[in-house]
């Protein structure tokens, strides 16, 4: 009997960019996350994918890559990214479920995932999918919400929260929003055959009253220096970790690129009349391509 599919957080039709980023006092968080990403991500390469790219907030950090896939479950957020980056032919916009990645094995030399793992109800299943599409010898740059942060520790000691920040299991503090213990994340990465390497602690000063009185450039400069302690202690709300891709497996050979998300059969031909057709006789599902958006979120139902 098949297990039910993990739930997926859907931002379809949301005003995420306006509600959470634009003019919302998060310049500090944006700046320090970019600093951490630049420190960990190879600056150049041939093929990169961002998992949960949303409206493309970090897309300008990928200028050194020949081809970039912005992958998200929300079509509407990808349309926002597309409108912003329309004149850059390096970008592909792919909608889909990260538990059923629509790509052939060994495709991406760099995988980036920032501010989205906290929506993963089944992290091991997600890591297995990323390990499958990871090119041997590449890098996975992951940011995750840290369960063992200083605020959570203080709240626990003061008995203002029931869950312990010191236990390894993830905590779901609201539906489909999780915090993770750093040691548990490393365990799951290793089980998926990634090799965790360098870590950075980020957003040391994510405290609204402090951000209101201290200039953002000052906070950013101090945070930048403090990030370098990440391999020794991790008490910040955000942690970045770079992992080496699994060594077993082979690099995908062009033109192999997309695969049917339902059965993983490579889609050997390009779209015909705006559709991909799965060649597997036991599957035969169809997937849409419309105005530059590759839609693997749901199969076409005629």
Give residues with Cβ within 8 angstroms of 105, minimum separation 6: 132, 133, 249, 250, 252
Lowest mean pLDDT among 1-5, 64-68, 81-85, 175-179: 1-5
221 and 113 Cβ atoms separated by less than 8 Å: no
Q: Which of 275, 253, 276, 246 is nearest to 107 (CA)?
A: 253
pLDDT for residue 177 is more than 50: yes
Per-residue pLDDT tens digits for 182-217: 999 999 999 999 999 999 999 999 989 999 999 999
Mean pLDDT of 55-76: 97
3-state SS string for 163-213: CCCCCCCCEEEECCEEEECHHHHHHHHHHCCCEEEEEEEECCCCCHHHHHH
Lowest mean pLDDT among 179-183, 211-215, 235-239: 211-215
Query: Which band of pLDDT confidence, cut at 50, 70 and 90, is reported for residue 2?
Result: low
Per-residue pLDDT tens digits for 101-139: 999 999 999 999 999 999 999 999 999 999 999 999 999
- Across the chain, mean pLDDT equals 95
Per-residue pLDDT tens digits for 27-46: 999 999 999 999 999 999 99
pLDDT for residue 1 is more than 50: no
Per-residue pLDDT tens digits for 272-281: 889 999 999 9
pLDDT for residue 233 is more than 50: yes
pLDDT for residue 270 is more than 90: no
Of residues 301 and 151, the one with the higher pLDDT is 151
Per-residue pLDDT tens digits for 86-98: 879 999 999 999 9
What pLDDT is stored for residue 160 in this prediction? 95
> How buried is residue 85: exposed, middle or buried, by Cβ count under 10 Å (0-12/13-18/19+)?
middle
pLDDT more than 90, % of the chain:
90
Angle formed at CA 38 by CA 36 and CA 41, multiple of 5 degrees: 100
Q: Which of 64, 95, 72 is nearest to 17 (CA)?
A: 72
Mean pLDDT of 137-165: 97
Q: Residue holding tokens 């530059």?
A: 292
The structural domains of the chain, ordered by start, are 16-257 (3.40.50.150)
Per-residue pLDDT tens digits for 286-298: 999 999 999 999 9
- Residue 90 CA, distance from chain mean position: 19
């Amino acid at each position: 009997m098949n297990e039910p599919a993990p739930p997926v957080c859907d931002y379809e039709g949301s005003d995420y960019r306006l509600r959470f980023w634009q003019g919302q006092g998060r310049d500090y968080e944006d700046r320090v996350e970019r600093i951490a990403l630049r420190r960990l991500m190879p600056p150049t390469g041939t093929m990169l994918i961002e998992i949960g790219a949303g409206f493309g907030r970090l897309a300008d950090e990928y200028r050194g890559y020949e081809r970039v896939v912005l992958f998200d479950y929300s079509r509407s957020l990808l349309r926002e990214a597309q409108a912003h980056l329309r004149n850059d032919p390096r970008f592909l916009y792919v909608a889909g479920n990260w538990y059923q990645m629509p790509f052939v094995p060994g495709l991406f030399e760099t995988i980036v995932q920032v501010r989205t793992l906290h929506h993963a109800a089944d992290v091991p299943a997600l890591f297995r999918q990323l390990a499958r599409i990871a090119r041997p010898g590449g890098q996975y740059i992951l940011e995750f919400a840290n369960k063992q942060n200083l605020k959570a520790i203080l709240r626990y000691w003061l008995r203002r929260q029931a869950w312990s920040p010191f236990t390894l299991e993830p905590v779901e503090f609201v539906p489909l929003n999780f915090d993770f213990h750093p040691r548990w994340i490393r365990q799951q990465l290793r089980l998926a055959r990634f090799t965790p390497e360098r870590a950075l602690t980020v957003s040391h000063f994510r405290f609204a009253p402090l951000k209101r009185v201290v200039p953002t450039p000052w906070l950013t400069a101090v945070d930048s220096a403090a990030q370098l302690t990440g391999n020794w202690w991790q008490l910040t709300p955000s942690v970045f970790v770079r992992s080496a891709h699994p060594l077993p497996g082979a690099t995908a050979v062009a033109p192999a690129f997309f695969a049917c998300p339902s059965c993983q059969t490579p889609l050997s031909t390009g779209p015909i009349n705006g559709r991909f057709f799965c060649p597997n006789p036991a599957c035969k599902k169809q997937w849409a391509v419309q105005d530059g958006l590759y839609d693997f979120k749901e199969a076409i139902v005629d």
